Amino acid sequence: MKLRSKAIFGLMTAGLVSLAISPIGMAQDTSKTQVVTGTATSTTTVEKGEVVYVSGNDLVVKMDTGEIRHMNVPDTARATVDGKEISVHDLKPGMKLQRTITTTSTPKTVTTIRTISGTVFAVIPPSNLILSFPEGGNKSYNVPKDQKFVIDGKTYSAFELKKGMKISATVVSEASDVAVTETRRATGTAPAAAAPPPPPPAPPTPVVYVGVLLIEVPAPATPPPPPPTGLNARPASAEPAPKALPKTASSWPMVGLLGLLLCTASLGIRTIRRYSE
């Protein structure tokens, strides 16, 4: 709770009586407090993130905004994940977390009414009065505008107060308080379970072959081919017929060679005749 005090001190006369009736040794200092509550206002914020790392009470979460947060989570903190309440030690990387924070502010006005009795120590009119008390010590008070004091049946203003006058007064102080409460609720979901591996393929169905009984029968002997007859007949030991010349062969080269030999022989005979004559 945060206290934003706005002290408003007022010095008001409430049935002021002279301390001649009430001895100074019996100084009164009683108080009464009254609290007036205003209309509460609430704000809700939602934060989402994914668990990145967890070890012991250390938790690292990557927020949806991209921010990386490191937190030390107490053992008493709880989160509801998939309907099950777990602690920080049950968190796993990959879990999605959501934290809902609800902040409620309730204004309050606290009024304290005190009845005091004291002796005027000093007065600074029109708004300041210092009283001393028999138990010791002085206190300063603000005097509201146009405040009147009744002492021994006479009415006095702040300008007419004198040191040593004994007065009783009611001190009113007001303070504005704002009560702030915050509730946090954490929920989440576990990461999706990995799909199970596909089952191994079934072994192929063996093919059953139906046996057929076969009986092998010896093949009949092949008779030798009949001997050739007519023009094509030749002894078995005869040499094979010479192969025919290829179609590209010609007798012209032979004719040329014979002509060359004859010319050479003619020249030789002529030479022999010449030497023999």
What secondary structure letter does DSSP report for 241? P
Closest CA to 81 of 70, 65, 94: 94
Residue 20 confidence (pLDDT): 28
d(CA 31, CA 137): 19
Instruction: Kindly give, in sequence order, each residue whose CB lies less than 8 Å from that of residue 228, ignoring residues fewer than 6 positions away.
Output: 234
pLDDT tens profile 56-69: 999 999 999 999 98
From first CA to last CA, the distance across the chain in angstroms is: 167
Task: Specify burial of residue 74 (Cβ count, 10 A radius: 0-12, 13-18, 19+).
Answer: exposed
pLDDT tens profile 162-173: 888 888 777 777
Class assignment of domain 42-106+182-189? mainly beta
3-state secondary structure of 24: helix
Residue 5 confidence (pLDDT): 38
d(CA 18, CA 150): 8
Give strand pairing partners of 104.
42, 181
From the first residue on, what is the mean pLDDT of each consecutive set of 10 residues in the chain (277 residues)?
37 32 41 84 91 92 91 89 89 90 90 81 85 82 79 82 82 81 86 74 64 58 61 52 57 74 79 72
3-state secondary structure of 66: coil
- For residue 171, how far is the Cα from the chain centroid? 57
Domain map (residue ranges) of the chain: 8-39+109-180, 42-106+182-189
